[in-house]
With several copies, the nearest count.
Chain A
Amino acid sequence: MERTKPSLDVAKIKKDFPIMERKIHGKPLCYLDSAATSQKPRQVIEAVSEFYSNYNANVHRAIYELGEDATRGYEGAREKIAHFINARSSSEIVFTRGTTESINIVAYGWGIKGKLGKGDEIVSTVMEHHSNHIPWFFVQDYKGVKLSWIDIDDEGYLKMEDLDRLVTERTKMVAVTQCSNVLGTINPIKEIAKKAHEVNALCLVDAAQSVPHFPVDVQNLDCDLLAFSGHKMLGPTGIGVLYGKEKVLEEMEPMLGGGEMIREVHLGRATWNDVPWKFEGGTPDPAGAVGLGAAIDYLSSLGMQNVRKHEIELNAYGLEMLGKIKGIRILGPMDPKKRGGLIAFTIPEAHPHDIAAILDAEGIAIRSGHNCAQPLMERCGIPATARASFYVYNSPEDIDRLIKGLKKVQEVFA
Chain B
Amino acid sequence: MAYEMYQEQILDHYKHPRNRGEMPDADLQARDYNPLCGDDLTIYLKTDEKGTITDVKFTGQGCAISQSSASMLTMMLKGKNISEAKGIDPDRIVKMLGIPLSAVRLKCALLSLQVLKKALFSKELSQAETMKE
Contacts and interface: CB of A to CB of B under 8 A. Distances in A.
A395 B51 CA distance: 61
Contacts of A383: 38, 40, 61-62
B6 A353 contact: no
B121 interface: no
A133 to B, nearest CB: 15
Contacts of B5: 357
A372 to B, nearest CB: 10
A63 B35 CA distance: 14
Given A71-B104, A413-B11, A353 B2 contact: no
Interface residues of B, number: 24
Contacts of A354: 6, 63-65
Contact of B33 (A60, A72, A264, A369): A264
Nearest to B35: A263
B11 A63 contact: no
Contact of B36 (A68, A357, A361, A369): A369
B58 to A, nearest CB: 16
A41 B46 CA distance: 58
Contacts of A61: 36-37, 104
B126 interface: no
B102 A264 contact: no
Contacts of B115: none
Contacts of B102: 68
A411 B117 CA distance: 35
B105 A63 contact: yes
A358 B33 contact: no
A377 B33 CA distance: 15
Contacts of A267: none
Contact of B104 (A63, A263, A377): A63
B1 interface: yes
B108 interface: yes
B104 to A, nearest CB: 6
A350 B62 CA distance: 10
B3 A264 contact: no
Contacts of B128: none
B103 interface: yes
A90 to B, nearest CB: 13
Contacts of B103: 68, 71-72
Given A71-B104, A350-B64, A384 B37 contact: yes
B91 to A, nearest CB: 20
Interface string A236-263: 0000000000000000000000000011
A351 B64 contact: yes
B38 A369 contact: yes
A368 B37 contact: yes
Interface string A188-231: 00000000000000000000000000000000000000000000
A365 B103 CA distance: 17
B37 A68 contact: no
Given A351-B62, A358-B3, A358-B6, A370 B105 contact: no
A60 B36 contact: yes
B37 A369 contact: yes
A357 B105 contact: yes
A263 B40 CA distance: 12
Given A63-B105, A71-B104, A360 B63 contact: no
Closest 6 pairs (CB-CB, A-B): A353-B63, A361-B2, A351-B63, A383-B38, A263-B35, A384-B38
Given A357-B5, A383-B38, A413-B11, 18 more contacts: A63-B104, A68-B103, A71-B103, A71-B104, A263-B35, A264-B33, A350-B64, A351-B61, A351-B64, A353-B108, A354-B6, A354-B65, A357-B2, A358-B2, A360-B1, A369-B36, A384-B37, A412-B6
Interface of B: 1-3, 5-6, 11, 15, 33, 35-40, 61-65, 102-105, 108
Interface of A: 25, 60-63, 67-68, 71-72, 262-264, 273, 350-354, 357-358, 360-361, 368-370, 377, 383-384, 412-413
